[in-house]
């Protein structure tokens, strides 16, 4: 059973932690680093014969269509991260439908293939907005990977199932991976935790997950997490500064080790979705 490697394609200034100090209307005037950083990820995957799923922001795809071309040409799965990196929990139903629908149509137009998967910014599916799955079904998404069954100050549904489950709308939810320890789900899926935990701990957690669970492990990362030289954003909280910039210099080496130590593929292949299907 191969693990699922996923990348959330967004620029360093588009993260939710900076939404109070950077207006999306100003994104176009900020020096972008997303293409260069995505290229670094793609090269690492090519070097290790690894296929992945790229949950790509519609704003990035529209501004840098060459990124989409590279992802698809190199055999990776292209998926949706919405259009403007707005938390689903902050949107009305109509706003959410416009965001995910526009992103899907744009990515399909640019890639020439169907978009089956979606990941909400900041894992922002909650018990209060479960109608999101009805919208995803209407827009003909096949699966979502938007729930982290952990306790966190910005996201998480602690009592959500830990493994893929079918929603009433027919859309599957594939939660981020966790380990239950002393009755609590511990996050082990990457992102900031990949930078926080020593690599030996991450390796142990993935190995333990693979031995104990009959499901693919899901890992995620952002291209900006490999970018030590990204500009530092001012006027953010100490917590946000710590979370965003911690151990950036160690990520590329750790990711290389991860690619060497485990087998990886796309979300669609790990979970048996047909990327050629155009309708559910």
- The pair of structure tokens assigned to 230 is 């990204």
Residue-by-residue DSSP string for 14-80: GSGGGTTTS-GGGGGGSPP-HHHHHHHHHHHHHHTT---EEEE-HHHHHH-HHHHHHHHHTTPEEEE
Q: What is the pTM assigned to this prediction?
A: 0.96
Tokens 């009959």 identify what position?
Answer: 214
Check residue 275 and give its pLDDT: 67
- Which residue(s) pair with 9 in the sheet? 56
90-115 confidence digits (pLDDT tens)? 999 999 999 999 999 999 999 999 99
Asked if 15 and 24 count as a contact pair (C-beta separation under 8 A), the reply is: no
First-residue to last-residue Cα distance in the chain: 25
280 residues of the chain, pLDDT tens digit each? 799 999 999 999 999 999 999 999 999 999 999 999 999 999 999 999 999 999 999 999 999 999 999 999 999 999 999 999 999 999 999 999 999 999 999 999 999 999 999 999 999 999 999 999 999 999 999 999 999 999 876 777 999 999 999 999 999 999 999 999 998 999 999 999 999 999 999 999 999 999 999 999 999 999 999 999 999 999 999 999 999 999 999 999 999 999 999 999 999 999 999 866 544 4
Cα(85)–Cα(94) distance, integer angstroms? 16
Check residue 277 and give its pLDDT: 57
Nearest to 96 by CA among 66, 67, 70, 128: 128
Cα(90)–Cα(82) distance, integer angstroms? 13
Q: Cα 29 to the chain's mean position, in Å?
A: 25
Tokens 């320890």 identify what position?
Answer: 181
Check residue 276 and give its pLDDT: 66
Q: Which CATH class is domain 3-271?
A: alpha beta
Check residue 151 and give its pLDDT: 85
Q: Domain map of the chain by residue range?
A: 3-271
136-173 confidence digits (pLDDT tens)? 999 999 999 999 999 876 777 999 999 999 999 999 99
Cα(5)–Cα(15) distance, integer angstroms? 20
Check residue 156 and give its pLDDT: 75
């Amino acid at each position: 059973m191969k693990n699922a490697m996923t990348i959330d394609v967004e620029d360093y200034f588009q993260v939710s932690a900076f939404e109070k100090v950077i207006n999306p209307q100003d994104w176009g005037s900020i020096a972008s680093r997303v293409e260069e950083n995505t290229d670094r990820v793609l090269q690492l995957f090519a070097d290790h014969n690894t296929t992945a799923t790229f949950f790509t922001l519609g704003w990035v795809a529209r501004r840098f269509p060459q990124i989409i071309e590279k992802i698809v040409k190199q055999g990776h799965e292209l998926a949706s991260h919405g259009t403007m990196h707005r938390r689903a929990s902050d949107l009305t139903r109509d706003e959410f439908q416009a965001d995910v629908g526009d992103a899907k149509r744009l990515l399909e137009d640019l890639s020439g293939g169907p978009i089956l998967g979606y990941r909400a910014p900041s894992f922002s599916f909650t018990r209060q907005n479960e109608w999101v799955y009805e919208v995803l079904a209407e827009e003909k998404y096949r699966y979502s990977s938007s729930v982290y069954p952990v306790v966190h100050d910005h996201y998480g549904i602690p009592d959500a199932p830990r493994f893929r489950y079918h929603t009433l709308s027919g859309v599957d939810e594939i939660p981020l991976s966790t380990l239950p320890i002393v009755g609590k789900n511990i996050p082990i899926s990457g992102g900031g935790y990949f930078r926080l935990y020593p690599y030996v701990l991450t390796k142990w957690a993935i190995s333990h997950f693979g031995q104990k669970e009959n499901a693919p492990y899901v890992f995620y990362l952002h291209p900006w997490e490999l970018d030590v030289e990204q500009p530092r954003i001012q006027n953010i909280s100490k917590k946000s500064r710590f979370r965003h910039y911690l151990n950036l210099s160690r990520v590329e080496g750790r990711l290389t080790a991860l690619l060497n130590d485990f087998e990886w593929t796309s979300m669609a292949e790990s979970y048996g979705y047909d990327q050629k299907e155009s309708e559910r």
